[in-house]
Amino acid sequence: MKKAIILAILLGFAEGSIASSITVVINGIDVNKGDIRVGLFDNPKEFPHGKPKVGKTIVSSHPSLKVQFADLPQGDYAIALFQDANSNEILDKNFLGIPKEKYGFSGKKVIGKPDFADAVFTLKTDEQEILIEID
């Protein structure tokens, strides 16, 4: 009986410490036009323009690229990204507030600024892949 209890406790600790990864596949990139800026968010109040849990910047060297976020606890996340064509580190917009650079989000396609609920997905496995088409 003691062995069963100890085993259950150890399995409980091991389950909570499992690190997972997310691979983001980005399609629709204009090759060699600035960088791709990707933000992984776990806080709805910060999404999509605040401070991400993790941010990455990659060179726009191919029309399709992958970015990996590793060592993540399982839970709810959302992704926001854009192609920073002029490398000024912001999503440029026209006088109406419409983005002039390509962008995309995880989740369902929305018109306008999405909220966290529009882009959220749940990381439940060791590895998960998210496809985002930017335009």
pLDDT digits (tens, 9 = 90+) for 5-19: 443 444 444 445 578
* Residues 117-132 pLDDT 10s: 999 999 998 999 999 9
CB 69 within 8 A of CB 60: no
DSSP assignment letter at 96? T
Q: Note the pTM of the prediction, 2 decimals.
A: 0.84
Q: Residue 1: is its pLDDT beyond 80?
A: no
CB 81 within 8 A of CB 24: yes
CB 66 within 8 A of CB 24: yes
pLDDT at 10: 42
Asked if the structure places residue 92 within a domain, the reply is yes
Asked if the structure places residue 116 within a domain, the reply is yes
Burial group, residue 34, by CB count within 10 angstroms (0-12, 13-18, 19+): buried
Asked if the structure places residue 8 within a domain, the reply is no
pLDDT at 9: 42
CATH number for the domain spanning 61: value is 2.60.40
Q: Which domain holds residue 96?
A: 19-133
Asked if the structure places residue 4 within a domain, the reply is no
* Residues 53-81 pLDDT 10s: 999 999 999 999 999 999 999 999 999 99
Asked if the structure places residue 98 within a domain, the reply is yes
Asked if the structure places residue 9 within a domain, the reply is no
pLDDT at 8: 41
Our count of domains for the chain comes to: 1
Asked if the structure places residue 39 within a domain, the reply is yes
Asked if the structure places residue 14 within a domain, the reply is no
